[in-house]
Structure 1
Amino acid sequence: MDKLALLFLACVLAGFALIKLPLAGTALASIAPVTFYIGILSVLVFSLILIFKGILALIDK
């Protein structure tokens, strides 16, 4: 399996972790919206990259 695909999958999972990160009641509560939007952006970008690489793999066969 392509090592880059595993890296992109790990980035998608990290994005989901940022979306679900509980920061309420901590000193970092003020950056909670920032982590939420960074998580959404990383999930979208890396999911699109994985879909694109999958389509290219199907076309090549």
Structure 2
Amino acid sequence: MWLSVDPERCYGSGDCAYRVPSVFRVVDGFGAVVPGREDGGGDPKVREAVEGCPSQAITVTE
């Protein structure tokens, strides 16, 4: 799974970074994927973060 966050859609709730800080973080007020963790890192909580994103800014490519 490959992750990306669309900065045009993200409004910076930080929910992704709260749920999976090893994969997501907040940069300049917006969610971002930690460099080198774009593959999701195999963490099962990543799906929860994607589905729970209030702005639906996280894209998953299988």
Q: Which interval holds the TM-score relative to the shorter structure?
A: under 0.3
The structure number with the bigger radius of gyration is 1
Higher relative contact order (CA 8 A, sep 6+): 2
